[in-house]
Structure 1
Amino acid sequence: MSLHGRDRLFLKAWGLGLADLDFARCLAVAGMGSAAPAGDEGRGGGPDPYRLEWAWPGVAGVLSRGRSESPSEAWQAAVLRALPAPERLLERWHALVREHRRLAFRIVRQSIPRGHKVAYAALPWAQVAILAQWLLLPDEVAGVHIRGGPGWAEMQALRFPLTVSALPDDPAAAHLGRLNDFQPAHWPFRYVPAAPDAERHALLVFGQPLERALAGLLQSPLQLKARLVLVNGHDAGRPGAAALVQALVSRVSASGIVLLAEPLPPGELAERVREACLQMMQDRPLDLVVRAVFGHAALLAAGAGLLQHWRMRAQMAELSARLVRQPRGASVKMSTQAMHQLGSADPVPVGGAPDALQTEAHELGKAIRRASVRHRYAGEAHEASAMTEAAQALRQEAAQAQAEQVAARHLQQQSWVKSRDGRLRQIRNAYVLGEPVLLKVRIGSQQASGWQSGSHAFPDRELPPNEGSHRLTVLFHEPGQLDAPLQQDITLPRTGESTQALFDFVPRREGAFLARIAVLHRNRVLQTAQLRAQVVPSRQAAGRRRIILETEAEVRHDWSSLDARRRFDLALVAGAPDADGTARATSVSGGKAWATDLTGVQQVAGEIGTLLSAVAHNTQGHGQGLDAEDNPQLLLDLAFCGRELYAQLVLDQLAQNREGALDVRSDQVGHIQLVQTRSDAVIPLEFVYDYELGTGSGASVCPQHREALAQGRCNPGCEGQRHPGRHVCPMGFWGLRKVIERHVQDAPAKADAGHPLVVLSEPTQAREKLQLQAGAVVGHSGRVAHGSVDGLLHELRTHLQGSVERVKDWDEWATAVQAHAPQWLVAFPHNTGSGSTRELELGNSTIRTRGIRFYPVGSVEGAAAHGPWHVRRPGGDPPLVLLLGCDTAGSTEPFSSHVSAFRQAGAAVVVSTIATVLGAHAVQVGTRIVADLLEQVAATGGQPHLGELLRQAKCRALLASQPMALCVVAFGDADWRL
């Protein structure tokens, strides 16, 4: 056992004279919490051990404000004061063992309560690992595990048979392959060589020590995923071991890791893995298996739910639930032995197969649930094999049902007019001036005749499995032909065609007909399409023209968690100019729809850009508070621009749609979605100002603006609300009071790629959190002072467990992305050039973002050989990108935005600016926002939505007198959790 010379940390004097075994017992009992029975019978005939929480005593409340001691000294002194004498602890240990016989521990890392001067995130990994090894020393201890680090994947259902894997060149790979020798059918575990198309493995084995294992993984082109990792060798006291463990776990999105203290020969390692699999098939808890198979020097670090789910009875319950959820009529075929082992009482023999039985899936699920109390898991050939057979049968049934389904469904249209005899007839070539049209819109199969389909399928195969149908809203608008948008609801079942939305209109002018059809769910845009045609003077003039329906943008392509997604209160879709060259936006809120001419909006956007650019060139005059120096006048000028935006985008339209419409001025409207199908026309929604303003040229900042920014809302009856004409309040801007989710499509990128915008990085039911602990890359323009980013680097290195790389140019940036798969990408670039030649400069090197590689859809085999990845390597988790530099999102000058290039390259969210920001301001604002996001996540445990966190971070930046935070916007899904 390697304990670094029997390292007793700072407890040497306290444990003086104690033998190693007694020291371990005293240490164990000193940190015990309350005991709780773990469950049913385990292997060996005795009850499973009592599970005990173990944490350092006396930690809570140790530090008070103003203590002169260093945190380490204060904390160690408090622990020593709280520890009873070793003799008393030994007595308690023996009494506990007599009562419970066997014990298992979970090490909990305590933190100092919020509000104290210094907070401990956790004990250093080296100390935790040494403590765990001491706790494993007594024979009475059946198992120990360490609580996993932040950002570790949550444990979910396992796939049977369980797969064990290793890298192809791993020294243990050939030996692990012998796991498949002499295995009967439906054996519950097997070895699967690592391959590009392999699914997530249950266990990924590294036959080398930790550092070499991580190096081999990073160098491998394979993008592997695993539930549990086993590493053959680990030095608990090695500096930087925590970062290596975190990097390895994050790289494969694991829920836990087993670390052997001393490496085993490859053959022996494979035999131990086989024994561990056999014991797990007998429903033994994982921590007991690790202790029994690999000895007291093997450490287990387990993430959320790993021990609970990594048991056969838990997986049996999951299988039962899956079977019960199957639709009526779905059946599974299994062997007679497996059917009876699982507990089915009335299966039906399968004709022509003497040893096969068949039963309805949901009935088998119920039978398993009833029989669960009788399951004993006596061996791998019993319930474990039967469960494997049932899981395989269920997959076969699902595959067959999928094959029998109709082809993919598309957004579809039919156009009808009245013939001379009064009957409706379908037209496919053109619309006629003054001739009434009935437009039918639905979602259906391309196999159905008579319907014209959009160019891209609707992602209906990803509908949640337990939902029979969805209610969707279809929006139709042609601004040159209709006074206002039309909308109707449709119902989309899991299979078959949707109901139809019917729109009738009369073309009123000749020429191009350019209509937009948008499909929404809870005011969230899912897909948009263009309906293009010509309006001709007569039916005879229609000739051989065509009515065309073409998919424009897919904002959502995974619907697996659609009903769990946040409802939006207002949605806006802004697209290409219509037939007369006018850019317009279509808006939906409170059951009402309206269209807005964006010409005036673009003029106001230019004024906002001019105001903020002036601030960027004046670093003085804005740092002493929002109510001091030049800030009151800046806020007032921006507020007048915001009132103009409010009038043009909202107020004028609400006057026409007052009845039944939602009051967007109130906080009832908290979430807004903006979808732009072109990136060169920014709509500065964040600057919409819906508070009242006076008529004069001067006003003071509301005296209670600090309290409002700190809490994210105004106090009722504050001075600004009682006398709005005298005051301007930052909370009047939508960007500080509402969550605004932006999606943007770059038209040139669409043409180059040959497909519409598809948001590749979006939260789903299986992946809703950004794994931000996995490290960061930071780079900046040569125009940014080198030392100005030191504060940002300190914040990232303090909060993140992965590596934080500072790069000097775009080449090093791409290398770091490929090597480390960082989840924070922070750039302070300089924007140069114009139009299609626009470039981003980083460290005096430039790139044309139009050339950044798109994130691949589908198979990624061999993709890494064709060039660098600047955002997300294939198979990696989507990162959060901050592009905070000189006009990186665009404001007054139309150009193809860098933002959409980074989004299409795989970024989950791009945080950028909509006005010129110089280096000094960009770094200040970026550091403030990053620090605030990290602090909020640490304080809340990593559950809040990004949109809300970013809104709060901007409020706090303004509270720190950084008005440039007003121009920070986010492109991407606001529902990501951090």
Structure 2
Amino acid sequence: MSNLIEVDELARRLGLAATEADSPGRAAALAGAVELPLGPAAWVWLATGLWRLIREQPAGSVARRQALAAAVKVPLRSMRESLRRLAADEGEPDRDLLVVVLDGTAVPAAADLIDDLAGSAPGGLDDFLAAEQVAVHSFDENEPDGSVARHREATGHVPAGDRDIPPGTAMPPTVRRDFGSAGGRPRAMPPDGGRQAGAAAAPQTDGAAPADVEQRRVNAQILHAGRVRRSFVSGADNVIRCWIGLKDAAAAAANEAIPRVDIPAEGLELTAELYWNEQRDARRLILPAERTARSGDCDLRLHVPEGERFVSAEIMFRYRGRAFEVVRVEAFALAAGEEEEAHHQLQVRVQASRRDVIAVADSQPVDATLVYGDDRAQPAGAETLPPSPALRVFGGEGGRGFDLDDAAQAIRWLNEALFSTEKLVVRRQAAQGGDDRLDADDPDVRTLLRDMARHGAGLYNQLCDQGFTDPGERIQVLNHDPDTYVPLEFVYDRGYPVSDAPLCQHGLAALEAGEGGCPACAMPTVAEERSAAPVICPFGFWSLRKIIERVAPGEGSQESVPRGVRRALPAIDAVAFASSHLVPDDERAATRDALQRSPGQVAVAEDWLQWRAALRTHPPLLVVLPHHGVHAALDYLEIGDPALGEDLGKLSHAQIDRGCVNPDGRDPGPIVLLLGCQTGAQTETGYVQITRRIQQQHAAIVLGTLAQILGRHAAPLARELVAELMAVEDVQADFGTIMRRVRRRMLARGYLMALCLVALGDAEWHLTPTRAAG
């Protein structure tokens, strides 16, 4: 027996440290271990690890099939019986690997199997898994036996093979003897960050919900030194254990349930990512399809510094990169040995909830989700919290925080300088012979793009100084700040241009050719060019290179979002048009004529009453060029003649309802092109709030700019944008890809404001080509 490998040695050989959450090679490592000379306890340790993989991995996956093939060779009677029950299920997708179990030809033979755990009792491995998890929750061998059953009843730790566990059920002796956590010995299963889908599949009995009602929510516990607490311990390592399930009496539960979504039978793989105080962590989990079943546990680790008195951690659950549920986990931090009092309670508060990210199962994965702004509530009795970083980036390994104080300054410059020059929009009309292209030789164009690049480089350099790295091509943005946009489209990552920097000829050629990037500027910027770039490359602006999806942080039921197979916006076969008379007469007439030459019907509204009437026919495109103003501290949008009465010509923020956007709340909702005009520099705050209000009235997409523009610029921009949308021919392209293409084409044709076009809404919408519909 001295030559047999026991648990400690096996864990060391496989490289599965107790703190490791989910080694990518865990399946291969465990499968290879069946060929080793293992002792009885090591076989139990290995068997539970393989069984966990079998239960948590999707059917047909390489990891699951590898684990099944290895499990057949495990010489434990409990494993063989578990596999036999699995093989007897005619619906088991990987049943082909288990034929040898049914026909009795599996090696080792039945006579050579080791009696372990509960012998050959059905559910032996399941019972072992549940009991091991109980041990992790601080039940030791001195705990009354009834505590195990009560914990199972409260948390759903019910073994699949034994639904009715009588009070007084004890943990298997093997667990207590060899793997009790109190003794500091290795855990009874290969570490993988806590319960996963397998242990989660058992129904929960606490607050059970009907099968068609979603009542699961994020639950959380604080663990320190293996013990559950209501507060963090300062000057020490702590763990936030979180999962999605019905309310658990032994944990803090979120104030809202997760959104109800249709979940495939194999469950949903989510990633939970933590951000707090420059610390981050991430774990994967499976959300089961059964609405009474809990997900796996995620143990997210953080160190609370000495003297810290309060922790407010942000945790994001992501599906295919997009935010599904975002919560804050908050609790006091106490010094080691300090007694917890009644008011020391853990709280979980929902910050954002997005059901639509699940509805489109084959959506394009998002590389990173960015959260802008901070909506934390000051906890009662807590000291003043430090300001949260304005921007948090969640990219798969946990969140990172960045300050972005230059953003407001950049937007102010857009308002006060960028749109104040007439040549910014009418460059195409001024070009010789009406040539529709970007005039790179015009000094005003070069100066404008240089200054835009300088502001964008300032934003990028500020982020890079804090350790920022490129978040990827597809970005989702959740904006908690109601007063402004984080100007990601404005970011420029090709360095700060020198004063006489020319436009990059390679980039201009690529732009005119409709290519996706500049061949000369594709390499990362060298350090010296961050402060002195020799050229201005249009592809340095993120608006031309990245797909930026801006969504409301709410549940998503107010805006129109893709659902399953319903993801195509209708062809633009009708348009509603309204404009302020502050837009010059000739520009209004040119826009109206251009729309009337396009396919379909055009309804022109001269006041808001006519506008509401025009929307009763549900045109798929709404084009509005209103004047934005403020009276008595109330923001309003004005269309038609300024001499109109207030009730006809002006629409205040509070008056915007579905009758102004989508009267019947139909799906899909319309595309709204909103170019708010101004007659002078005004605050952009109210305008941003108005665009969001319109988005909430069940609009699919709201197109606008980062800031307001002059009336004489709005009409040409609107005409060009509508023409580009109607020219779309790619049925498979999502709206995010379409908008990036539209920006590139419009800039190539001389519309500099295309760099600042912003799309609010889900980038997964597809646009039906107008010609195809005709």
Report the TM-score when normalising by structure 1: 0.50
Deviation at 1:740, TM superposition (A): 0.9
**1:964–1:717 Cα change, 3 Å:** closer
Inter-CA distance 681–722: structure 2 relative to 1 (3 Å threshold): closer
| Deviation by residue 1:352-404 (Cα, 9 ceiling, x = unmatched) | xxxxxxxxxxxxxxxxxxxxxxxxxxxxxxxxxxxxxxxxxxxxxxxxxx996
What amino acid sits opposite 1:921 in the alignment?
H
Give the direction of change, closer, same or farther, for the CA distance of 1:631–1:906 in structure 2 (3 Å limit). same
1:965 alignment partner in structure 2: 754
Q: How does 1:231-270 map to 2 (within 5 A)?
A: none
Supply the distance in 1 between the matched residues of 2:289 and 2:355 (Cα, whole angstroms): 17
1:469 Cα deviation after fit: 2.0
1:885 corresponds to which residue? 676
Whose relative contact order is higher, 1 or 2, with alpha carbons under 8 Å and at least 6 apart? Answer: 2
Correspondence 1:703-722 to 2 at 5 A: 703-710=505-512, 711-717=514-520
2:420 to 614, 620, 631: 614
* Distance (whole Å) between structure 2 residues aligned to residue 512 and residue 580 of structure 1: 10
Deviation at 1:489, TM superposition (A): 1.6
Q: Once the 2 structures are TM-superposed, how far is the Cα of residue 729 of structure 1 from its aligned partner?
A: 1.6
**Are the counterparts in 2 of residues 484 and 595 from structure 1 also a CA contact under 8 Å?**
no
Task: Give, in whole Å, the separation in 2 of the partners of 1:904 and 1:327.
Answer: 48
Deviation at 1:431, TM superposition (A): 4.0
Q: How far 1:825 sits from its partner (Å)? A: 1.0
For 1:449, the equivalent position in structure 2 comes to: 249
Is 1:599 paired with 2:413? Answer: no
After superposition, where does 1:78-89 map in structure 2 within 5 Å? Answer: none
What are the superposed Cα offsets for residues 212-252 of structure 1, whole Å, 9 maximum, x if unpaired?
A: xxxxxxxxxxxxxxxxxxxxxxxxxxxxxxxxxxxxxxxxx
Structure 1 residues 841 and 460: alpha-carbon distance in aligned structure 2, compared to 1, 3 A threshold: same
Displacement after TM superposition at 1:721 (Å) = 10
Q: Distance in 2 between matches of 1:720 and 1:626?
A: 26
Does structure 2 retain, via aligned residues, the 8 Å contact 1:511–1:536? yes
Equivalent-residue separation in structure 2 for 1:869 and 1:679 (angstroms): 21
The equivalent residue for 1:742 is 550
CA contact (8 A) 1:772 1:800 kept: no
- Of 895-904 and 616-625, more deviation after overlay is shown by 616-625
Residue 641 of structure 1 pairs with residue 455 of structure 2:
yes
1:642 is paired with a residue whose SS is helix
Asked which structure has the greater CA Rg, the reply is 1
For residue 832 of structure 1, what is the aligned residue in structure 2?
Answer: 629
Q: Per the alignment, in what secondary structure is the counterpart of residue 458 of structure 1?
A: coil
- AA of the residue aligned to 1:526: F
Rounded Cα–Cα distance in structure 2 between residues aligned with 1:531 and 1:970: 31
Aligned counterpart, 1:919 = 711
Q: Distance in 2 between matches of 1:635 and 1:684?
A: 16
Shift of the alpha carbon at 1:406? 7.9
Q: Tell whether 2:499 aligns with 1:671.
A: no
> What per-residue deviation string (whole Å, max 9, x for no partner) do you get for residues 249-274 of structure 1?
xxxxxxxxxxxxxxxxxxxxxxxxxx
Who is 1:946 aligned against? 735
Q: 1:871 aligns with which of 634, 656, 662?
A: 662
Distance of 1:432 and 1:502 partners within structure 2 = 16
How big is each residue's C-alpha offset from its partner over 1:597-647, in whole Å with a ceiling of 9 and x where there is no partner? Answer: 122333344344444233369767785434113010111111111112222
- Partners of 1:619 and 1:875 lie apart in 2 by 35
Cα deviation per residue 1:893-948 (whole Å; 9 max; x = unaligned)? 44461121111110001001112311121111111111011012xx33x4422111
CA contact (8 A) 2:625 2:714 kept: yes
1:901 aligns with 2:707: no
Cα contact 1:680–1:894 (8 A) shared by 2:
yes
- Read off the aligned partner of 2:536 and give its amino acid letter: V
Listed one character per residue, the Cα deviations across residues 471-517 of structure 1 (whole Å, up to 9, x for unaligned) are: 21112223xxx223322221222121111111232433555543322
Identity of aligned residues (%): 24
How far 1:581 moved relative to its partner?
Answer: 3.4
Whether the 8 Å CA contact 1:882–1:911 is kept in 2: the answer is: yes
8 A Cα contact 1:705 1:729, kept in partner:
yes
Question: Could you tell me which residue of structure 2 aligns to residue 352 of structure 1?
Answer: none
Following the alignment from structure 2 to structure 1, what is the Cα–Cα distance between the partners of residues 509 and 493?
Answer: 19
Q: 1:555 aligns with which of 354, 363, 375?
A: 354
Deviation of 1:426 (Å): 3.2
Paired with 1:643 and 1:834, the residues of 2 have a C-alpha distance of 37
Shift in alpha-carbon separation, 1:968–1:719, aligned structure 2, 3 A: closer
Q: Is contact 2:449–2:536 with CA below 8 Å preserved after alignment?
A: yes
On the 8 A contact 1:646/1:688 being kept in 2, the answer is yes
State the one-letter code of the partner of 1:967: C
Stretches of structure 1 that go unaligned for 5 or more consecutive residues are: 1-325, 330-401, 656-662, 746-754, 856-867
Pairing 1:332-351 to 2, within 5 Å after superposition = none
AA of the residue aligned to 1:826: V
* Aligned residue runs from structure 1 range 13-24, under 5 A: none
Matched, 1:821 2:582: no
Q: Structure 1 residue 972: deviation in Å?
A: 0.4
Q: Please give the alpha-carbon distance, in whole angstroms, between the structure 2 residues aligned to 1:327 and 1:461.
A: 28
Quote the Cα distance in structure 1 between the aligned partners of 2:596 and 2:360. 34
CA distance in 2, matches of 1:556, 1:836: 35
Q: Name the SS of the counterpart of 2:460 in structure 1.
A: helix
**Out of 492, 511, 514, which is 2:287 matched to?**
492
SS, match of residue 457 in structure 1: coil
Distance 2:345 2:634 in 1: 36
Q: Distance in 2 between matches of 1:903 and 1:835?
A: 24
Change in Cα spacing, 1:809 to 1:950, as seen in structure 2 (3 Å) is same
Q: 2:363 aligns with which of 565, 589, 605?
A: 565
The number of aligned residues is 529
Tell me the equivalent position of 1:773.
572
The answer (yes or no) to whether the contact 1:476–1:518 under 8 Å persists in 2 is: yes
| Aligned 1:62-461 pairs, distance under 5 A | 405=211, 408-418=214-224, 424-427=227-230, 430-431=231-232, 433-434=234-235, 436-446=237-247, 448-459=248-259, 461=261
User: Could you list the runs of 5+ residues in structure 2 that have no partner in the other structure?
Assistant: 1-88, 93-207, 377-384, 432-437, 643-648, 768-774
- Say whether 1:728 aligns with 2:536: yes
Partner SS, residue 833 of structure 1: strand
- The residue number in structure 1 matching 2:83 is none
Distance in structure 2 (CA, Å) of the matches to 1:571 and 1:583: 15
1:535 and 1:800 map into 2 onto residues whose CA distance is 64
2:501 maps to which residue?
Answer: 699
* Distance in structure 2 (CA, Å) of the matches to 1:601 and 1:734: 15
